[in-house]
Structure formats: C-alpha cells, structure tokens
Amino acid sequence: MAGQATKQIDSATLWGGKVSPFSASYGKLMMWFFLVSDALTFGGLLVAYGYSRYSTQESWPIGEETFEALPFLGNGFPLAYVALMTFILIVSSVTMVLAVEAGHRMDKKGVIKWMFATIIGGFIFLGSQAWEWSHFIHGTHFGRVTLNDGSVAIVKGDFGHFENFTITSVGDHGHHQVGDVITEDLEHTWQHAAQEGHVTKNSDGLFVSLHDGSTAKVNFAEGEGIENIELIIKQPGSVFTEKSAADNPESRITGEEAENLYFEALATGDKVVYGANMETNEYGPKQYGQFFFFITGFHGFHVFSGVIINIIIFIGVLKGIYHRRGHYEMVEKTGLYWHFVDLVWVFVFTFFYLI
Amino acid sequence: MERDDIIEYSLDAHHSEEDGVKKRKTIWKVTGILTLVTVLEVALGIFIKQGESASWTFVKWSFIILTLFKAAFIVLSFMHLGDERKTLKWVILAPYAIFIIYLIFIAFNEGSAVGTAM
C-alpha cells in the first residue's frame, strides 16, 4: 500500500478551500471564533465574581445603594446613571447595525453617517465610564463607618457644601492665625481629619483639627449642613445587627441616634473609609472593589479598542476602499465586535449592578 | 495570482433598497424592545429592594431571563447570527450551553461550600 500519499488526486475530489462549510467568508468566521473565546473570558470573569460573592461572609453591596449618583445632580438617583450608560451603548449598537445595513446596499454616504454616530456614541460611553470610575474611587461624602460596637455601616443623608473653615484656636506649630479663613481643599482636609478622628461636634457646631494642631470651625453654605443621616448596618457588631432586607425602613438607624453614632465614629479615628482602591473600599468586601475595577475596566478596554477599530474602518470607508472592493464586509466585521461589546455590557449590567 | 474559483460570500449579504426598508424597520423594532426591557429592569431594581423576600427571588430570576432575552435579540438580529447557517449557529452557541453552565454550577456550589467552611 506504499505510495498512497503521493498518488495524484484531481481537484474535483479534493476540497480545495473552495466552499466554506458555513457559507461565510474566512474573515467573518475568524471574527466569530475570536468573539467566542473572548465571551468565554468574560463568562469566566463573571463566574469568578459570583464565586467570590457566594463564598464571602461579609454582606455584599447592593447596586441601588452603591450607584445612585448623577453628574451635577448629586445623590438619590438609584441606577439612573448605569441605565443611561446602557442606553447609550444600545443606541450606538443600533447606529452600527444601520451602518452595516447601508453597506449591504452599497450606500457609502449612509455608512459614513451611521459609523460616525457609532464612534461618537463610543466616546460618550467611555466618558461616562471615566466619570463613574472617578466617582467610585473618590466615594461618597459620608464614607463607610465602623461604629463603636464594632458594627460597620454605610451612610446616607444630605451632606451640604462647605463654605469655608475658620481657625478658632492655634496649635503649637501653627502657621495659622485665629480668624484665618481656609477656602481651599476643604473636602480633602475634612476627610483626612475624619480618618484621624479629628472631627468634633458640640453645641457650637462642627470643628476639625488640622495638621499643625490648630482647630477650625466648619462652615456650610447658607441653610446647609450634615442632615438626615441614616445608617445601614452592613456587618453586625455587639449592639447593632445587620439587616439584609433593604426595603425594611426599620433596618436603618435614623434621627439623632444616627447622627450621634456617626460623629462619635468620626471623633474616634481609623473608623471611616472613603471611596475605593485595590486594598479597601467603602461599599463592601475588598473583592467587590477589585472585581469592579477589573470587570468594568476590561469591558471599558474593549470599548476603547472597539472605538479605535471603528475609526480605522471609518477612514477606510471615507477613502472608498470598501466601495471599490464591491462590498462593505469590513464594516460588518467591526460591527460584530462592536455588538459584542454591547452584549457583554448587558450581562455586566445585570450581574454587577442589578442583582 | 487571482483566483476565480473562490466564492465571494461577502456579496451574498447585499440587498435591494426595498429590502433595506424592511430591514431598517426590524432594526428599530428591536431597538424599542431592548430599550423597554432595560427600562423595565431598572424600574424593578429601584422599586423591589434586595433581600430575602419571595418578591426579590422572583425579580432576580426575571433579571436573568430578561438579560438572556436581550442577548438573544442582539446576537440573532444585530449580529445577524439568525441569518447564518444552522451549523455556524451551533458552533458559536454550543460552548456556552456546555461550559459556562457547568462553570456556573461548579463555581457557585464551591463558593457556597467555602463560604460555609470559613
């Protein structure tokens, strides 16, 4: 039976790469295969997130409690911003599919119009995500506090805006004078003092101790102040117990009791956490912050590269490369990637923000 | 060397102006559905709070079903997988049916066990 391999077989018998078993072009198939592997990566990430959430003992943050801020409007809008981001991505997916449809009719002007809209949508989404990250990292005005019984609570309420700090007494190494008015870097000074336990509340108002040992009175804008404090216990202590049902209004500590507990914590030191980093965050277990950065960051990186690829293809469309080629399949392929980015966000939205 | 025996599958996707009108109509319909589902999800998320209650369990499963519903529209309509051959559909969708469901099962079971043990 020797020599079989060298025997000549005519091309009618051999498959010469002529017919694709899927009736799809090579490039489109490879884009699909890449998307399959990329989707498995995201699937793995989201499952890992679920694993951490199942295995942790600490109570996991609740989406509508964590994400409730809007740019310029402040707090009190649960999930509104992520819903807006989802809508932006859906719309940019629609403009992309319209570009693909225009390409199927060899309508160059249509492709240009809709691809341009897609790129703009991509930039708006990236900008939104940048704001969301910034807000997540800087955190709320209140932070998360450890109460004196050892329980941990997140804080809701009205913080107001600082007007200025006025020096009321000067410390040993003070470079301030009594009566000096500080107007810069107030938020940072306040948070630093709160973490050090240098915030005091008495009948005259709120006072912070500064680095140089001097004391300053905290002045809020007209008619504002720290009001309506509500504490939501996230980890039980010796007195307060955790209530997982957020819909039960009795699970929140409110009124004067909440206010006293909060300022007691700020006067103790090492009891308050602001914002998020890779080590700790004010929203919940540290894995929560790490997964937030990794999953939304990895998705954001995909959006970013999607915008770049869209721009490259857009230039090709403008130059008429695909029109001369006789088909706009390149637009279809970059469209597949762009829709995939939208698809991933649909899952991230549900499993990170809603559930 | 130019080959004239290669089939240009890329050209199969071309369609006429009249077909284009119909296809755009479908696209806008799908857009409406995706937007409505997202609005519904956010409304559920805001009005029914997380907790141990039976209504939350119902909402949680609604979220998962609505997400799969949205994903199906994106993949089948926007990504045109619905127009591809049956074999290609299975090559792309089968890995999830097998691996991700298995991974979810194993990871969540293990996660609960680790959580209890610690």
Domain ranges of chain B: 18-83, 84-118
Token pair 């755009």 is found at: B24
A26-139+287-354 topology per CATH: Four Helix Bundle (Hemerythrin (Met), subunit A) (1.20.120)
Q: What is the pLDDT of residue A345?
A: 95
Of A103, A166, A160, A154, the residue nearest A275 (C-alpha): A154
Whether residues A36 and B60 touch (CB distance < 8 A) is answered with no
| SS3 assignment, position A144 | strand
**Mean pLDDT across B74-81:** 92
Give the C-alpha separation, A216 to A76, whole Å. Answer: 30
Model confidence pLDDT, tens digit, residues A59-114: 888 887 888 888 888 777 888 899 999 999 999 999 999 999 999 999 999 999 99
Comparing A310-314, A318-322, B98-102, which segment has the lowest mean pLDDT?
A: B98-102
Query: Does pLDDT of B1 surpass 80?
Result: no
- Closest Cα of chain B to A207: distance in Å? 37
The complex's ipTM works out to 0.90
| Integer Cα distance of A335 and A309 in angstroms | 10
Searching chain A, which residue's CA lies closest to the CA of residue B116?
A55
Q: Which residue of B has its CA nearest to A57?
A: B115
Torsion angle of C-alpha atoms A124, A125, A130, A135, degrees rounded to 10: 110
Q: B90 burial class (0-12, 13-18, 19+ CB within 10 angstroms)?
A: exposed
Mean pLDDT of A7-33: 74
Q: So what's the pLDDT on residue A106? A: 92
Say yes or no for a CB contact (<8 Å) between A327 and B63: no
A11-25, A109-123, B17-31 — which one is most confidently predicted on average?
A109-123
Which residues in chain A have Cβ-Cβ distances shorter than 8 Å to B71?
A: 343, 346-347
Between A225 and A251, where is the model more confident? A225
Residue A113: exposed, middle, or buried by beta-carbon count in 10 A (0-12, 13-18, 19+)? Answer: middle
Residue A146 has pLDDT above 50, yes or no: yes
Q: How many residues does the structure list for chain B?
A: 118
Q: Which residue of A has its CA nearest to B73?
A: A343
- pLDDT of A10 over the 80 cut: no
Interatomic CA distance for residues B97 and A337, integer angstroms: 21
CB B11 to CB A336 under 8 A? no
pLDDT band at A122 (very low <50, low <70, confident <90, very high): very high
* pLDDT for the residue numbered A1: 44
- CB–CB contact B79 A52 (8 Å): no
At A247 the pLDDT is: 47
The domains of chain A are located at: 26-139+287-354, 157-230+244-273
Q: Which of B2, B3, B9, B39 best probes binding to A when mutated, by most A CB atoms within 10 angstroms?
A: B9
Q: Contact at 8 Å (CB) between A100 and A189?
A: no
Lowest mean pLDDT across A296-300, A342-346, B6-10: B6-10
Say whether residue B58 is in contact with chain A using an 8 A CB cutoff: no
- Tell me how far CA of residue B85 lies from CA of A59, A82, A205, A337, B91, in angstroms: 46, 36, 73, 20, 10
A230 in Cβ contact with A253 (< 8 Å)? yes
Given this model, what pLDDT does residue A202 score? 84
Residue B4 in this model has a pLDDT that exceeds 70: no
From its phi and psi, is residue A2 left (phi > 0), alpha (psi between -120 and 50) or beta?
A: beta
- B70 closest CB neighbour out of A48, A248, A346: A346
Q: Is the pLDDT of residue A302 over 80?
A: yes
User: What's the gap in Å between the CA of A238 and the closest CA on chain B?
Assistant: 20
Residues contacting residue A121 through CB under 8 Å, at least 6 positions apart:
A88, A89, A91, A92, A95
- Which string of DSSP letters, residue by residue, matches A181-250? EE-SSHHHHHHHHHHHT-EEEETTEEEEE-TTS-EEEEEESTT--SEEEEEEEEE--SS------TT-GG
For A54-90, give the DSSP string.
HH--SPPPPHHHHS-EETTTEE--TTHHHHHHHHHHH
Q: Which residues of A156-170 are buried (b: 16+ CB within 10 A; e: fewer)?
A: bbebbebebbbbeeb
Residues of B in contact with A78 (CB under 8 A): 45-46
pLDDT in tens, B11-66: 777 888 888 899 999 999 999 999 999 999 888 888 887 776 778 888 889 999 99
Band (pLDDT 50/70/90 cuts) for residue A11 is low
Portion of chain A with pLDDT greater than 70, in percent? 92
In Å, what is the CA distance from B62 to each residue of A14, A205, A217, B43, B65? 52, 49, 51, 12, 5
The Cα–Cα gap between A253 and A231 comes to 5
Percent of chain A scoring above 90 in pLDDT: 42
Condensed to tens digits (0 to 9), the pLDDT of residues A226-260 reads 888 888 888 888 888 765 545 455 567 888 888 88
Query: How far is the C-alpha of B25 from the C-alpha of B20, rounded, in Å?
Result: 8
Which of A51, A91, A94 has the CB atom closest to B107's CB atom?
A51
Give per-residue burial for A314-344: e unless 16+ CB within 10 Å, then b: bebbeeeebbeeebbbbbbbbbbbbbbbbbb
Whether the CB-CB separation of B50 and B56 falls below 8 Å is answered with: yes
Question: Residue A343 and residue B74: Cβ atoms within 8 Å?
Answer: yes
Strands (E), chain B: none
Residue A320 has pLDDT above 70, yes or no: yes
Looking at residue A7, what is its pLDDT? Answer: 60
Q: What predicted TM-score, i.e. pTM, was given to this entire model? A: 0.88
Rounded mean pLDDT, A304-312: 97
Query: CB A342 to CB B16 under 8 A?
Result: no
> Listing from the earlier edge strand, what are the strands of the sheet with A199-202?
A181-182, A162-169, A215-220, A205-209, A199-202
Going by pLDDT thresholds of 50, 70 and 90, the confidence category of residue A6 is low
The pLDDT assigned to B49 comes to: 75
Query: Taking the CA atoms of chain A, what radius of gyration do you get in angstroms?
Result: 28
pLDDT-wise least confident of A10-19, B30-39, B80-89: A10-19
- Rounded to the nearest integer, the mean pLDDT of chain A is 87
